Amino acid sequence: MLANGPDYGGMLTGRFDRTKVDAALADMPVIVARHRSELAGVLISGSIAVAERHPVIAGMLGAYRGGADAYVYGPVCVDARWRGQGSRRSCSLRCSASCPTRGHPVHPQDNAGLDPRA
């Protein structure tokens, strides 16, 4: 995720330090895509209550909150070497399977690049 951060020209609207990642892990599933021992991508999901603490997400949720059981899906970051190979879709399907009692996700941000097949 560091490579997708604002300090490196990426499109993430915030920094995901250890504290934020730990908080995400405590809130809802964080999906990690790996190929053997290599990190291929990551998808962070969050409850509306936790995610809306971020000003950009709060603004998005002001326009559309989804249903009462909705959750925030993203960011999704896929390593450039693995884009276009289904990593983002695999993460999305795994996240949905991990949240069977939740409604549909609200998508604030996607950092998988311009290739929709990522």
Digit-coded pLDDT (tens) for 54-78: 888 888 888 888 888 888 887 888 8
Give the confidence band of 8 by pLDDT, cuts at 50, 70, 90.
low
Structural domain total, the chain: 1
CA-nearest of 114, 111, 118, 116 to 16 is 111
Residue 110 reports pLDDT greater than 50: no
Which domain, by its residues, includes 10? Answer: 2-106
- Indicate yes or no: pTM above 0.75: no
Provide the CATH number for the domain around residue 62.
3.40.630.30
18 Cβ partners below 8 Å, 6+ apart?
Answer: none
Residue 113 reports pLDDT greater than 70: no
Residue 35 reports pLDDT greater than 80: yes
